[in-house]
Structure 1
């Protein structure tokens, strides 16, 4: 005999409840527009999970996803989070976050590590091997030269400043979230938007009290574009998402403020493309 079921209940009479869906939102007072679900990624060297956070100066940093005891980590590797921003020191608690570069089994540690951190590195190395054996992660060799169409990390001029990109100009991808809650696949260099131009420009700056000599290098110049276009490049969004304020970011913008000492290896003295007929380089 089939038992009678009550509407909205299971066969045994227990209530049928479904968890309410809660869309992810970005608080208006948040220093970062990045969604918490979009901060996770995988290290391109070892394939292990990392958590990406912006620092106070806007630069991203990859942290190990788990907290570690402060007694097991060197003081120079202590990081803590406050309002979604990573700060390079402890917060007085017994736990801290440390950069993934310290534990990455495919990289040399940035500081002296103790046996506890060595054990964590060993565990990550075993996990990397499993990811490679199962085909989940395919290690990629670091590029040894510039891309055929341009520098691998070009220098870009916009908003009265110089920034170093994290990849070729053609490969810079929009960081906005789509309606399907995935990252937008469109490039920032849209075919229907005005492009920049490659120029040979003198690059130099003041670093503290040390005056650095200027040198001429290849720069992807966006300074001739309207301010709205330069800002679109700075926030790393395609034209469709440039004016969409409701769409959050699923990744950190890959720009780094140009430093002539730290980024000297990425400077190029020749243009990647021949100049257009009749054009004059400044």
Structure 2
């Protein structure tokens, strides 16, 4: 008795074998957010639970709980919804909404009055945090909650002025990395500060912002000024892209731009009264 060979593309029982080709992710040209869905998931640095990062209308990031909750179970000040990849804090009238992770984080104080349902969900996240810690997948970092408000807290976050506004960078100017996706679906490794593109100038400017924020009298701070650059270059810095991806509008982002609107009263710890080269010289003299 001769065995019948199984035709290619079928299982042992003769049923067709379905093969799904990998489908690349694309971002619509009319989308207000250029961030891919794969770049929105992360882990909370305080509890280790999964979070989803989204941009708000003011272009500031916010961490939301990854699951949708019933609107009746969430207090009105904590209700968020998504539209076009942007997170909005107002209620859209639907039966489901999103909630900030800071409300449920077991290592933070709730931002609003929680219901028994949210309290139970908060305890579930606390149990998950303990399991991650016991398995060695997460380590508690006490410096995130007990960090002193001093000028040496994080000196590598400079204040950058562009597009008539001031922003607090996520890292030093030299280490700002492009957030665009490459052809191999990885994040670009090129820096935003390129040798072939014009650079900014360090200046000592008053701490009062150009956007009408409350000014601090007689306080000078080091600012990396990009105001003299062309408008297209300032847009490139604001999008946190290298020169190669600045001319590629179809490339999506794999991470959020690390800019945070600077406020002289909130970010007092990041005000540097000396120029960077002066601080380096003072460190060598010591």
TM-score (norm 2): 0.84
Residue 278 of structure 2 aligns to a residue whose secondary structure is coil
Is 2:247 the counterpart of 1:246? no
What is the aligned residue count?
Answer: 275
Aligned to 2:39: 38
**Within 5 Å, which residues of 2 pair with 1:160-199?**
160-191=164-195, 193-199=197-203
CA displacement at 1:21 relative to structure 2: 2.5
CA displacement at 1:265 relative to structure 2: 3.6
Contact 1:151 1:272 in 2 (8 A): no
Contact 2:157 2:270 in 1 (8 A): yes
Cα distance in 1 between the residues matched to 2:165 and 2:204: 15
CA displacement at 1:65 relative to structure 2: 0.5
CA displacement at 1:196 relative to structure 2: 2.7
Cα distance in 1 between the residues matched to 2:277 and 2:239: 26
**Within 5 Å, which residues of 2 pair with 1:130-279?**
130-140=131-141, 141-142=143-144, 144=148, 151-191=155-195, 193-205=197-209, 212-214=215-217, 215-274=219-278
C-alpha change, 1:20 and 1:90, in structure 2 (3 Å) is same
Structure with greater proportional helix content:
2
Contact 2:55 2:85 in 1 (8 A): yes
Aligned to 1:108: 109
Aligned to 1:279: none
Aligned to 1:59: 60
Unaligned runs of 5+ in 2: 281-286
Residue 233 of structure 1 aligns to a residue whose secondary structure is helix
TM-score (norm 1): 0.85
